[in-house]
Structure 1
Amino acid sequence: MRGVFETWFSENSLRLIECSRSIWEHPEPSGKEYFAVDTLRQLLCEYGFVVGEPPLAGLDTAFEAKWGDGSPHIGFLAEYDALPGLAQTTSPYPEPIEGQNYGHGCGHNLLGVASVAAAAALKTVMEREHIGGTVYLYGCPSEEIMTGKIVMTKAHVFDHLDVAISWHPGDKNRASEESYQAMLSVEYHFHGKASHASINPEEGRSALDAVELMDVGVNYLREHLPRGGQIHYVILDGGAKPNIVPDKASVWQFMRASTAQDVLKISHRLDEIAQGAALMTGTTFEKKILTGCNETRIIPKLVEIMDDTMRHEVSLPLWTENEKQFARELLENLGLNAQQEPLHHGILSLSGKTVPILGSSDLSDVSYVVPTCMLFSACYPIGTPNHTWAVTACAGNSIGTKGMLYAAEVMAATAYRLVSQPELLMEVKKSFSDVMGKTTYSPIC
């Protein structure tokens, strides 16, 4: 098997790198990833998939591609949105690209192409070995604003899959046991009464006062959050001019916790704080829920299979001295100390248990309806913080693309084991059933 996939990736790597670089050069905001979608759909057509037209599940830049027929149904999940303010060249120091507002500071140009590559490589081997089944590639937009896969899960897009497989660029190689936090994204819009702030302030009711009092209350709440709970906020609107008592003001709150139940408890407390702030200021407010996700469900058997595949079926990338020197310079320019080997060359060991981590992903909702696994692949130097110019730089150079190709081969090889060994797939399904118990999918919002 190793030889089959190595040959395929050797023959196709230049085309895959070209597509990844092209998407890197055309970064797009969430929900408007039209160039990326066209690029990935064209690539899938070249590899013989039946490629559906967007929209899917009401999302303009979501799509489905498929090949084959019957069971098992294996799905690969692609992302491709970029981040604002992270336009960057491939230099190891901050060098914004003038006139470009977005950049791939989360490496989604790599993520999308690797998922397509995994689907195409698996298809090739299944055809050659006459293995039955259906391979799907799902284009999943807007991960950075936590909507794509959540909307698609609510629309039952993934319900028919036997397994869903994804990955993410990182600084180390590992099969993921990490459970992302549940999250709720909410805007609070306060309404007061405008007046002249100097001549007749007594007639005014400041919506900005309500926002500030809410933020004070939220800050005092932090001590009493459930373990693993977090709250982040930005003020969206604080009024127009200092000499006008603001009749409108808004604050955007993110609530996170290890479980959806804890997030909902935090949300209830924030609603009460908003009510108190409105009462103290003589204002009113309305609440607008933007999005939210559950925590990730980890399926131990699936993690074990992916980890074993990483260790025994796929060769790790080899880093050149030029790439290592680039990594050292990049870390130095981030104010970080580089390790002797700044690029990871190994595989982290499994802990054998679910590991709660900080941050959230819309992949979590998928994990409630289908056994889901993912890996992290080293695409930037050890210790590099995500969502930075440094990740954008690596996502556009050979460090990122080597990690991309490694991740793609791991995903393809993991899926091959599942389609060629039905008993393994049955073990995965039993593991999923054991983890879920009587729990069924319920969107957090």
Structure 2
Amino acid sequence: MRNDPIELSRLSAEVEAKAPVYTELSDRIWGMPELRFAEHRSVEAQIAQLEAEGFTVTRDVAGIPTAFVAESGDGGPVIGFLGEFDALAGLSQEAGVAEPRAEVPGGSGHGCGHNLLGAGAMLAAVTARDALRTQGLPGTVRYYGCPGEEGGSGKTFMAREGVFDGLDAAVTWHPGPLNGVMSVKSLANFQVYFRFRGKASHAAGSPHLGRSALDAVELMNVGVNYLREHVPQDSRVHYAITDSGGVSPNVVQARAEVLYLIRAPRVEQAKALFDRVVECARGAAIMTGTTMTMEVDKACSETLPNTTLEMALHGNLLNIGAPAYDAADRDFAAAIKGTLSEEDVSSSLASFGAEAALGGAALHDGVLPFDGTSIIQHGSTDVGDVSQIVPTVQAWGGCWAVGTPFHTWQAVAQGKSGQAHKGMVQAAKAMAATALDAFRDPELLARAKAELTERRGGRAYECPIPAEVVAPPLRVVR
């Protein structure tokens, strides 16, 4: 049995009543941006609120100091809400200002809206739990505090330790410029350090005695760049030289390091491409007379959309409607949009499969149409690993000006805005309503689970992170 209009109205009112606490929480987390696996203040703020709401909190989940699970309720089904709270390096920006500010040295910012993501998912989880109590329904709500989504794959490390086992469904969302179902096929990836060791020598007096590790890094990069023509079209390979071996050009560099991020539509394709990149590294070491070692930093699987739950979410989004933006929201969004190029806006809309006509609006006043068709987005997320284990549904919340790209100063600047808060609250309503659908309709859950089994093709989940690789907070500094 689904939520009827009266129940949705009641649920929406409950979310609105609690919203001020959670918008204030999102603003606090915006103001203390912390990078992957170092989100200690953000975690403490979330835990304090969840404990005040009567949730029982388990800390240090999977051995990670900033991972936790909060639970409330009794019996089954068990529905999980996924929250994030990490920021991005180099994106310090003043809130509410429609122009870039000088970057704060060593600063960071919420350029992907994770301050909103965690607070919104918490608001949905608490509201769903309260509705269960009010209606006298059995069921358990869990909120997962998931660190290190940005370049850390915190959920993948958690999945490897069985943290998501026992869930019947998972629900989450992501801030963005549009409202709708987030039915995407993201890319699997592997992130790997390649370290080369050579022999130092005077670059002018005795260059023949040296063996340059930096030469090896550069030759590896050349090899990989030639490889790009011969990989599946939707694959992606990126790298950053993280240690160039020093600042003295008259010394042959005895060490160098490069970090690679390798993506492909399916995890087995990403692994095959990773193996080919390794061969480029080995070849570079042979050519330069150096040695090469590598260290897997993290990995994640591709997402498996769940149309069964997505159609339920879409129905709730349509019934709840778009956020009620006011004139101040529209004015600020228009100012932000004025800083974007036409290419920024068109590229953003294309990534959502949205009509170009939306480009004329400063804020999205509707809900994206959805017919059960998923789109490919070439980014990656560790939500993919959760979706491989349990039926998972995601929403987009219209928190930013139409066309706002992710990981930009414009996204940071809107993180405490009125439109951001309104988009978060509407997403929370839709998530809570969809969770209640799942709690009240055993057939919906059964169909969602059957769909996941079909999409997996009979394969059991296998974590792409090797067993010997521990999460970054647990590693010995080299």
With the length of structure 1 as denominator, give the TM-score of the two structures: 0.97
1:72 is matched with which residue? 77
Q: Deviations over 1:390-411 (max 9, x none)?
A: 1111111111111111111110
CA shift, 1:121, in A, is 0.4
CA shift, 1:214, in A, is 0.6
SS of residue paired to 2:338: helix
Q: Is 1:413 aligned with 2:413?
A: no
- In structure 1, how many angstroms separate the alpha carbons of the residues matched to 2:329 and 2:290? 58
Residue 191 of structure 2 contacts residue 260 of structure 2 at CA under 8 Å; is this kept in 1?
yes
4+ runs deviating over 6 angstroms: none
- In structure 1, how many angstroms separate the alpha carbons of the residues matched to 2:414 and 2:219? 42
Q: Is 1:87 aligned with 2:92?
A: yes
Residue 380 (structure 1) aligned to one of 387, 392, 400: 400
- In structure 2, how many angstroms separate the alpha carbons of the residues matched to 1:351 and 1:273? 43
1:221 is matched with which residue? 227
CA shift, 1:97, in A, is 7.1
SS of residue paired to 2:360: coil
1:306 is matched with which residue? 313
Residue 75 of structure 2 contacts residue 139 of structure 2 at CA under 8 Å; is this kept in 1?
yes
Range 300-309 or range 191-200, more displaced: 300-309
- In structure 1, how many angstroms separate the alpha carbons of the residues matched to 2:101 and 2:233? 39
Structural mapping, 1:280-295, within 5 Å: 280-295=287-302
- In structure 1, how many angstroms separate the alpha carbons of the residues matched to 2:419 and 2:99? 15
1:49 is matched with which residue? 55
CA shift, 1:6, in A, is 1.8
1:276 is matched with which residue? 283
- In structure 2, how many angstroms separate the alpha carbons of the residues matched to 1:436 and 1:85? 38
Residue 41 (structure 2) aligned to one of 35, 39, 43: 35
Q: Which amino acid aligns with 2:49?
A: L
SS of residue paired to 2:204: coil
Residue 300 of structure 2 contacts residue 381 of structure 2 at CA under 8 Å; is this kept in 1?
yes
Residue 340 of structure 2 contacts residue 403 of structure 2 at CA under 8 Å; is this kept in 1?
no
Residue 195 of structure 2 contacts residue 256 of structure 2 at CA under 8 Å; is this kept in 1?
yes
SS of residue paired to 1:228: coil
- In structure 1, how many angstroms separate the alpha carbons of the residues matched to 2:183 and 2:421? 24
Q: Which amino acid aligns with 2:125?
A: A
Task: Call closer, same or farther: CA 1:172–1:102 in 2, change over 3 Å.
Answer: same
Structural mapping, 1:8-407, within 5 Å: 8-52=14-58, 54-90=59-95, 91-96=97-102, 98=104, 101-240=107-246, 241-312=248-319, 314-336=320-342, 339-407=359-427
Residue 4 of structure 1 contacts residue 125 of structure 1 at CA under 8 Å; is this kept in 2?
no
Task: Call closer, same or farther: CA 1:56–1:96 in 2, change over 3 Å.
Answer: farther
Gapped runs of 5+ residues in structure 1? none
Task: Call closer, same or farther: CA 1:308–1:33 in 2, change over 3 Å.
Answer: same
SS of residue paired to 2:35: coil
Q: Deviations over 1:314-340 (max 9, x none)?
A: 232122222222112112223448743
Range 1-10 or range 356-365, more displaced: 1-10
Task: Call closer, same or farther: CA 1:398–1:386 in 2, change over 3 Å.
Answer: same
Range 87-96 or range 187-196, more displaced: 87-96
Q: Deviations over 1:113-134 (max 9, x none)?
A: 0111011101111101100011
SS of residue paired to 1:377: strand
Q: Which amino acid aligns with 1:58?
A: G
Q: Which amino acid aligns with 1:34?
A: H
- In structure 2, how many angstroms separate the alpha carbons of the residues matched to 1:227 and 1:423? 39
2:3 is matched with which residue? none
- In structure 1, how many angstroms separate the alpha carbons of the residues matched to 2:376 and 2:17? 39
CA shift, 1:293, in A, is 0.8
Residue 85 of structure 1 contacts residue 103 of structure 1 at CA under 8 Å; is this kept in 2?
yes
Gapped runs of 5+ residues in structure 2? 1-6, 346-358, 466-478
2:450 is matched with which residue? 430
- In structure 2, how many angstroms separate the alpha carbons of the residues matched to 1:100 and 1:15? 30
Residue 75 of structure 1 contacts residue 135 of structure 1 at CA under 8 Å; is this kept in 2?
yes
Q: Which amino acid aligns with 2:156?
A: I
Q: Cα RMSD between the aligned structures?
A: 1.4
Residue 89 of structure 1 contacts residue 95 of structure 1 at CA under 8 Å; is this kept in 2?
yes
- In structure 2, how many angstroms separate the alpha carbons of the residues matched to 1:69 and 1:277? 58
Residue 181 of structure 1 contacts residue 258 of structure 1 at CA under 8 Å; is this kept in 2?
yes
